[in-house]
Structure 1
Amino acid sequence: MIVDPDEYVEPSDNEKDDIAIIDPDEPRPTPADDYEAIEELVLPPLDQQPPIIETVHHTWEIKNWQGLQKREHGPIFHAGGYPWRILMFPYGNNSDNVSFYLEHGFEDGPPDDFVCCLQFGLVLWNPNDPTLYTYHTAHHRFTKEEGDWGFTRFVETRKLHAHVWPGSSPPRPLVESGEANMTAYVKIVEDETGVLWHNFNNYDSKKETGFVGLKNQGATCYLNSLIQSLYFTNAFRKAVYQIPTQDEDTTTNSAYTLQRLFYQLQSSSAAVSTNELTKSFGWDTKQIFEQQDVQELSRKLMEVMEKRMKGTEAENVLPKLFCGKVRTYISCINVDYESRRVEDFWDVQLNVSGNKDIEASFRDYIQVETMDGDNQYFAGENYKLQDAKKGVIFESFPEVLHLQLKRFEYDIERDSMMKVNDRYEFPDTFDAAPYLSDDADRSESWIYKLHGVLVHSGDLNAGHYYAFIKPEKDGWFYKYDDDKVTKATMREVLEDNYGGEMPLLNGQVYDASQKPIIRHNSAYMLVYIREARLDEVLLPVTNADTPAHLQRKLEEEAAFKEARRKEREEQHLYLTVRVITQETYAAHGGHDLTVFDRSHDEDPAAAKSYKLLKKCTIRELIKVIGKDTGTDPRRLRVWFMVNRQNKTTRPDTPVLDYDQTIEEAHLKLAGSKTQELRLWAETAEEVDSNGDAVWPAHPLVKEGSSPSRSDEIVIFLKWFNVDTQSLVGCGHIYISSQSKVEELAPFILKRMNWPEDTRLKLYEEIKPDMIEPMKAKQSLKAAELQDGDIVCFQRATEGSGGSDGSDTTTMVSNGLNPRQQPLKSSDIIDDARLYYDFLRHRRLITFHCHPTRGSKEFNIDNCESFTLVLSAKHTYDQVAAKVGEKLNVEPTHIRFWTIALNTGNPKTAIRRTSNHTLVNMVSSSYASFAGTTIRSDALFFEVLDISLAELDTKKPMKVSWISEGVTKEEPLDILVPKTGTVDDIVSSVIKKARLEDEEKGRPIRVYETHSNKIHRELSRGHLIKDLTDYISIILERIPEEELAQPNGSQYIHAFHFHGDPTKAHSIPFKFLIFQDEIFSDTKKRLEKRTGIKGKNLEKIKFAIVKRSSYTKPIYLNDDDTLWDMLGDDDDQLGLDHIDKVRNTRTGMGDLFLK
């Protein structure tokens, strides 16, 4: 109900500015009953300039103010075909002010689709003296949800009834004798776009426009605007669909992901994500959160798609759509000689600065330059130097013309890129014919129609991108602002994106004292379509054009998502039941009876899972289990599984009430903290004459409830097979708790079909780290065995190797991705307790070859990843021995690296120590040292040229080799002896970078830098141990001019900075200066010394920088002599220029697409 400050205009915060003040010496103010004049005052022109439907005014004569209720309504009046009235709070709406609002006048509430946009002003005035009044004005989009709008603080109550209203003559109050008039001025305006003054709460782009937007991943609005532009270039979309991707339908294929994105834009009802597309580009988080150059992105995307289209029916579509031809020529004026070169172009870059509109930019583009005087053109041996005209002219324009407006230019004063916010106009229609060569094909019109305007709002360092696109030939333009799509007026498309000064209302102009408000939003790319080709470019794209495999896959994914959504919604109705069966236990080769953290589909030993309605009964559940396992349900009963204090899960009691629901059973299960019901399904071995199961008695089984035998306990059997190095579940038995441990043997021998004289070793599996030998003469009750306990057995004669007498056997890692690998006899475990210990510490580790490091003799290109079954207690050397055996390399030369979880890249080299175990190598403790989260199931390895022992005597160093002056830096990782000297650094760099030695090449200089300034030059005998890690080491060939340093010369340290000498960058260097050499000649030598040439050198400002006053560089002129201006040995030469390679140095490399 309170008006938004942005949506109304008050003359001032000072109440006096809202009041008509009368001065005897001045003309009397316009009276409030001059309705036409007051309407012009309170309803000023709107910024949006919407068409006006109707303007009305209505006056409510308020009587007996003191007798009014707390809330009053004025009489209903009509405007725009709707009823309206004034809502009044004469004593304030929770404030000390009188409140007035305009609201709709529907007695029974407005219709659901009620929408009316209007501007209104409310004027409160004295009917006895209409020159006394106050007013407020606003505009609003009235809807069913927001049916009133106005002013809570219209006027202070104390002022309203004061005896003297300011400006009155003779003195009188605004409300006099309890009477006042309230006039409402209402201007109904047309909502052309459907979003005028919209708050966008619950806005549905698809419903309102038929189109959907793209989600912004972080800073991908520039990508979104380009993708929408290409999507609505229908011929391009159709060509993308024609790329064969049925055999490469992976999200690493950018053509396939673009197809998916386009189809989702066609079919989705909500904004679409570009995550798949950017991942297929090979972008990571860094690229996603950096704004890239749209022109470069457009060109590279075209290159990738054109490459994908080769050999398909769409092979020539992109050049036909987007490629034109431009001729560069030099034509002699006095002789018949012309040099010309014709090139393809995919877009045209137009200068904004100095040009009024695109017509002026095109004229500037094809402007002819006369080459005469000292700039004559050499026309070959026949004509020699000649006056000539040089220029470019277009031979043809493409069907879809992309114009890149140069909104970002280098500012030489600021020595940085700046945004050009100048006003620059572009039309809805323009004729490109004047910019074509005389011999161009003019059989058809070269008139172009505006199709898209890509806009940047903000400045160089921060901003937002969006687009205005016209999807249909004769349709509207729409604004595509990330995930929101709205209809747009031509004023929004054109005028609002010209840039320049913000226009004042009523055609006013800025006076000399006013600083113009500059628009920060302006077009930076325009898309025009040749009028004669509109039907071909904007041809309809239907589902029939979409690849069938793409539609099918996306429909399947959509159905899967819908099923998951429905599943989440109905999740509260279902309960998951995990069931251990005879088959799952037989397949289980680990601790306990099963695993609950994997699905039965991926691991046959995992418990079976059933998702059932909570109201399903136990009886119905048993039928489901019976049908799934092929077992007569009458032979099945289920037991509750409970979590014991030792963190094992075992059967506890059979379920007796078959008519209870699974939800009730789950709630009754004491100690169950899981979100699922866990059961063991027992299959009866005996049945009676009716086919009903005969179950052993249980303390909780009531007499007569079912046929039963004596009171016994159920024990699970597990066999440790030494030959196969595995545990095997061997079912369960019932035995009296009074029986002795040795009485288990006959049951086991019968179950295993072994000879009666087979000797056994028996162990109780209490928990994974407690496997206790059992005493033969002890009773089961004395051994504290109960229902659900596990007895592990092995043959006492096992352990001497395989049955064929060989010294090797096979180990199966049951329960964890079963795989086989040959074992040495020394690796064979012949005691169940040791095998359980191995299982507890078992780790499946996948080893990957380090992508960039390793011995030259070891071929990393042909190195495949492999997985080994290891123990967490293995030492570094034991792990290396296993890997070395696999790779057939010396284990002493293998170094391991942790793997960063978020990137999959090598993180930290693992140190080899005697007490370092595998669990340390892949655990979180090492992750903390690494400074990031690492994978616990994988490692990188590298095969070194030297042993790890020898590596311990080396010091790893990062140095930089400088060539091509100081413009090319090659970072190098080298190993040098810890006891070595700088000479060892030079030798290592020559070997690593494959350089000529110092005899064949020039001598090498080694120096330290700190904060991009030279710290000191290092002698060859300088000890490695005396070098610090925070200093950078630079190596370069000594320039030829320095090899024989002439008399009258000396060295000076030079460094680069930008603006402020404390902001140093790039590689510093030593430079030889000569006595009496003027600086214009010095600069020529600096060009050769630095490798910075041409215009790049011209942009550099050279200065003398004194250590004592770094903030005050002394800039040099060409006629200065550097030698004479140097004060002392600490003076340095500064090169003041922008850091051209800062992006590379900070990781902001060139834009790339895979």
Structure 2
Amino acid sequence: MAPRLQLEKAAWQWAEMVKPEDITREHIELAYRVAVSACKRGACRRNCRGNPNCLVGIGEQSWLGEIDENAFHNIDDPNSERRDKNTFVGLTNLGATCYVNTFLQVWFHNLELRRALYRFQNSRAEGHNMDSDYEPRTICEHLQYLFALLQNSNRRYIDPSGLVKALGLDTGQQQDAQEFSKLFLSLLEDTLSKQKDPNLQNVIQQQFCGQFSYVTVCNKCGRESPLPSRFYELELNIQGHKNLTECVTEFLKEEKLDGDNRYYCESCQSKQNATRRIKLQSLPRTLNFQLMRFVFDRQSAHKKKLNTFISFPEVLDMGPFLGKEEKCTYELSAVLIHRGVSAYSGHYIAHVRDAHTNDWYKFNDEEIEKMEGKKLQLGIEEDIAETAKSQTRKPKCSKGYHCSRNAYMLVYKRQMEEIDQTETNVEVPAFLQKLVDQDNKKFEEWCNEMADMRKQSVDKGKAKHEEVKELYELLPAEDGQSYEFVPLEWLKKWLDDSTAIKEIDNKSRNIILRNIIHDLPYLFHFVQALGC
């Protein structure tokens, strides 16, 4: 017979022999199983129905086991927001601003640009009263302060909302990343050109601006007509190509001008067949290649993304493209990546090389990860919402080359024959460092405040834990001890810290003793009066 049925039979055996008028308190206590031994912890897996003295399996486990301090609060460890030693600082994604964050990290790692921005005359920052928060106004002020924070902040990541707001960007809508890069550099160049320092005036041109000419040659007289033009990046078609060299070669390829597209030659004073090509004149220190992954699809009348694999070298010799015998060597310094199959959505990530150590890092908004070993696959990021079946197999790459179907911009830095160690050291100016120190102080105060709140919650939780544990140990009623009826559900709610409970009115105890309630052992449990 099952234990529950055995208890049931033993509790009510007397009912067949005792007349109602002869029922005593002893009979009632026998029916209510008051004398049944209390269960011991470990002997029962769950609460015994039918034994009102069983106080096992009603929620006491969380109070009697080891203390988990995290259960007493919902405050994250403030130190998780602290920057780790020898790591970089991330940037908060404000909704759809990951494309901005990638460019900011790439530009921050351009040491010449960072050094130049630190020289930007900022009288507001230099004369700032430390009793209030510093609020930049112009684009250069925002970028200058942001770079100083990225360099010396104690925070794991910082908020770029000031700069984003100053640029008038919609944080909820993803913009054209390639267009943003052009417009921002143009805006920065215009602002810096008004500075008195000549090195500061020309820093954008020196770093990013190159020159080429559209050279048209008349087939009849051979007259050359060059049309010079500046560029901040070379926009390369990737359709039908496998590597960067093929893309650059096509960019410089000669085209024929004939038929309706003939060229008017001033020497011949008439339209003539001609050829036209782009001739590179000079290259900047930082050479940006825009891989045209987002193209207009005439059939759908919308932009689409090209997922073509393109291989690119870690070291690139641009000498042959300049028509020179001597080498013009560039080193890969950053790869900007778009994850996603659509041209209108997705996520932007940057792989950037640290100029000090030559180590590569993955910048993904707030998260930064060092890329080494098997993780050092530049330009490789899994696509969003793409099944394994739809993924094109990655072609094999030679040593010193990388291959990507998501890279949309490659950044190369000109290789210098002799590197001056001072060129890699960029110090934050004293007036900016004061502002960084002020922000670090605020951060430390916040950390201390969060730590205090966390400690108070833990101390309060521990005190309650000990109180409940002590009370629970007092609950079992031994033979001869006075006891109280407490509803089983009330006991469970009391042990469930998240449930608010009301006090119990046990004035009806004598009524219960005078009137036999068959289900009482299942609904109520007996606890020692002292525990109550």
Same fold (TM over 0.5): yes
How big is each residue's C-alpha offset from its partner over 1:460-482, in whole Å with a ceiling of 9 and x where there is no partner? 23211101000126522111111
Of 227, 240, 249, which residue of structure 2 is paired with 1:363? 249
| Count of residues in Structure 1 that have an aligned counterpart in Structure 2 | 352
Aligned to 2:213: 327
1:272: Cα distance to partner? 1.4
Separation in 2 of the partners of 1:494 and 1:225? 15
Greater per-residue strand proportion: 1
Matched, 1:317 2:194: no
Aligned to 1:378: 264
Of 539, 550, 557, which residue of structure 1 is paired with 2:423? 539
Structure 1 residues 232 and 205, CA, compared in 2 at 3 Å: closer, same or farther?
Answer: farther
How big is each residue's C-alpha offset from its partner over 1:532-565, in whole Å with a ceiling of 9 and x where there is no partner? 278479932433xx23222112212332443455
TM-score in terms of structure 2 length = 0.60
Aligned pairs for 1:338-349 (under 5 A) are 338-349=224-235
Secondary structure in 2 matching 1:556: helix
* 8 Å CA contact 1:498, 1:523 repeated in 2: no
How big is each residue's C-alpha offset from its partner over 1:336-394, in whole Å with a ceiling of 9 and x where there is no partner? 41211111111111111111111111111011112234543221264523231111111
Separation in 2 of the partners of 1:536 and 1:406? 36
* 8 Å CA contact 2:379, 2:407 repeated in 1: no
Separation in 2 of the partners of 1:534 and 1:323? 23
Letter matched to residue 437 of structure 2? E
Aligned to 2:349: 466
Aligned pairs for 1:399-414 (under 5 A) are 399-414=285-300
Structure 1 residues 215 and 384, CA, compared in 2 at 3 Å: closer, same or farther?
Answer: same
Aligned to 1:393: 279
Matched, 1:271 2:157: yes
Separation in 2 of the partners of 1:536 and 1:303? 29
Aligned to 1:425: 311
Separation in 1 of the partners of 2:175 and 2:418? 30
Aligned pairs for 1:497-896 (under 5 A) are 501-503=391-393, 522-532=406-416, 535=419, 539-543=423-427, 546-563=428-445, 565-566=447-448
Of 331, 341, 349, which residue of structure 2 is paired with 1:449? 331
* 8 Å CA contact 1:455, 1:467 repeated in 2: yes
How big is each residue's C-alpha offset from its partner over 1:12-58, in whole Å with a ceiling of 9 and x where there is no partner? xxxxxxxxxxxxxxxxxxxxxxxxxxxxxxxxxxxxxxxxxxxxxxx
Separation in 2 of the partners of 1:281 and 1:208? 32
* 8 Å CA contact 1:473, 1:535 repeated in 2: no
Aligned to 1:986: none
Letter matched to residue 218 of structure 1? G
Q: Which runs of 5+ in 1 are unaligned?
A: 1-201, 508-518, 575-1154
Separation in 1 of the partners of 2:431 and 2:98? 30
Letter matched to residue 227 of structure 1? L
* 8 Å CA contact 2:153, 2:440 repeated in 1: no
Of 367, 385, 388, which residue of structure 2 is paired with 1:484? 367
Greater per-residue helix proportion: 2
* 8 Å CA contact 2:212, 2:229 repeated in 1: yes
Of 189, 204, 207, which residue of structure 1 is paired with 2:84? 207
Structure exhibiting the larger radius of gyration computed from Cα positions: 1
* 8 Å CA contact 2:262, 2:274 repeated in 1: yes
* 8 Å CA contact 1:205, 1:485 repeated in 2: no
Secondary structure in 2 matching 1:393: strand
Secondary structure in 2 matching 1:334: coil
Letter matched to residue 148 of structure 2? Y
Secondary structure in 2 matching 1:282: coil
Secondary structure in 2 matching 1:262: helix
1:331: Cα distance to partner? 0.7
TM-score in terms of structure 1 length = 0.29
Structure 1 residues 252 and 267, CA, compared in 2 at 3 Å: closer, same or farther?
Answer: same
How big is each residue's C-alpha offset from its partner over 1:1042-1070, in whole Å with a ceiling of 9 and x where there is no partner? xxxxxxxxxxxxxxxxxxxxxxxxxxxxx
* CA RMSD, Structure 1 to Structure 2 (Å): 3.3
Secondary structure in 1 matching 2:287: strand
* 8 Å CA contact 2:339, 2:381 repeated in 1: no
Aligned to 2:509: none
Separation in 2 of the partners of 1:538 and 1:360? 37
* 8 Å CA contact 1:329, 1:392 repeated in 2: yes
* 8 Å CA contact 2:215, 2:276 repeated in 1: yes
Separation in 2 of the partners of 1:294 and 1:343? 23
Aligned to 2:38: none
Separation in 1 of the partners of 2:139 and 2:98? 19
Matched, 1:351 2:237: yes
Secondary structure in 1 matching 2:228: strand
Matched, 1:244 2:116: no
Structure 1 residues 330 and 460, CA, compared in 2 at 3 Å: closer, same or farther?
Answer: same
1:569: Cα distance to partner? 5.5
Structure 1 residues 550 and 341, CA, compared in 2 at 3 Å: closer, same or farther?
Answer: same
Separation in 2 of the partners of 1:542 and 1:561? 24
Separation in 2 of the partners of 1:244 and 1:366? 41
Of 169, 173, 185, which residue of structure 2 is paired with 1:302? 185
How big is each residue's C-alpha offset from its partner over 1:160-192, in whole Å with a ceiling of 9 and x where there is no partner? xxxxxxxxxxxxxxxxxxxxxxxxxxxxxxxxx
How big is each residue's C-alpha offset from its partner over 1:698-751, in whole Å with a ceiling of 9 and x where there is no partner? xxxxxxxxxxxxxxxxxxxxxxxxxxxxxxxxxxxxxxxxxxxxxxxxxxxxxx
1:247: Cα distance to partner? 2.8
Aligned to 1:115: none
* 8 Å CA contact 2:238, 2:293 repeated in 1: yes
Of 254, 259, 263, which residue of structure 1 is paired with 2:139? 254
How big is each residue's C-alpha offset from its partner over 1:575-615, in whole Å with a ceiling of 9 and x where there is no partner? xxxxxxxxxxxxxxxxxxxxxxxxxxxxxxxxxxxxxxxxx
* 8 Å CA contact 1:448, 1:529 repeated in 2: yes
How big is each residue's C-alpha offset from its partner over 1:616-649, in whole Å with a ceiling of 9 and x where there is no partner? xxxxxxxxxxxxxxxxxxxxxxxxxxxxxxxxxx
Structure 1 residues 560 and 381, CA, compared in 2 at 3 Å: closer, same or farther?
Answer: closer
Aligned to 2:166: 280
Aligned to 1:1012: none
* 8 Å CA contact 2:336, 2:350 repeated in 1: yes
Identity of matched residues, %: 28
Matched, 1:222 2:92: no
* 8 Å CA contact 2:234, 2:289 repeated in 1: yes
* 8 Å CA contact 2:136, 2:142 repeated in 1: yes
* 8 Å CA contact 1:235, 1:536 repeated in 2: no
Secondary structure in 1 matching 2:95: coil
Structure 1 residues 537 and 405, CA, compared in 2 at 3 Å: closer, same or farther?
Answer: farther
Structure 1 residues 556 and 354, CA, compared in 2 at 3 Å: closer, same or farther?
Answer: same
* 8 Å CA contact 1:234, 1:537 repeated in 2: no
Secondary structure in 1 matching 2:406: strand
Secondary structure in 1 matching 2:242: coil
Separation in 2 of the partners of 1:520 and 1:336? 42
Letter matched to residue 291 of structure 1? Q
Q: Which runs of 5+ in 2 are unaligned?
A: 1-78, 126-133, 384-389, 397-402, 457-532
1:504: Cα distance to partner? 8.2
1:395: Cα distance to partner? 0.7
* 8 Å CA contact 1:222, 1:294 repeated in 2: yes
Matched, 1:292 2:178: no
Separation in 2 of the partners of 1:430 and 1:220? 31
Separation in 1 of the partners of 2:394 and 2:294? 26
* 8 Å CA contact 1:424, 1:498 repeated in 2: no
Letter matched to residue 231 of structure 2? F
